């Protein structure tokens, strides 16, 4: 079993991230609510400060979708 104190700390870090990047998290929430279904392909590119890009993707299963939605629900702030 995970340490509840660490989970609480993770939630606090999530809330700080949400304060710094509210539009990004609203975008992710919209995607989760409207586009994330079984078979959806998540395609991500991350570019570092020097301009080097790393790309990856994953085709989501029903279990993946349920997991990602549960994580979102657990971390969601009561707005």
User: Domain spans of the chain?
Assistant: 4-75
Whole-structure pTM value: 0.69
Q: What is the pLDDT of residue 61?
A: 97
> What percentage of the chain's residues is helix, strand, coil (to nearest 5)?
55, 20, 25
Check pLDDT > 70 for residue 71. yes
For residue 55, give the nearest of 47, 65, 63 by alpha carbon.
Answer: 47
End-to-end Cα spacing for the chain: 29
Q: What is the pLDDT of residue 78?
A: 52
- Rounded Cα distance between 15 and 76, Å, is 9
Cα 51 to chain center, whole Å? 23
Check pLDDT > 80 for residue 75. no
pLDDT in tens, 17-69: 989 999 998 898 889 888 999 999 999 999 999 999 999 999 999 999 999 88
Interhelix angle 62-75/22-34, rounded to 10 degrees, is 140
């Amino acid at each position: 079993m995970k340490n509840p104190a660490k989970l609480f700390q993770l939630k606090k870090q999530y809330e700080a991230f949400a304060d710094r990047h509210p539009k990004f998290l609203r975008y992710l929430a919209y995607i989760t609510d409207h586009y994330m279904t079984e078979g959806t392909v998540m395609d991500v590119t991350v570019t570092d400060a020097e301009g080097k890009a790393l790309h990856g993707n994953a085709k989501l299963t029903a279990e993946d979708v349920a997991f990602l939605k549960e994580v979102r629900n657990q971390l969601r702030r009561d707005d």
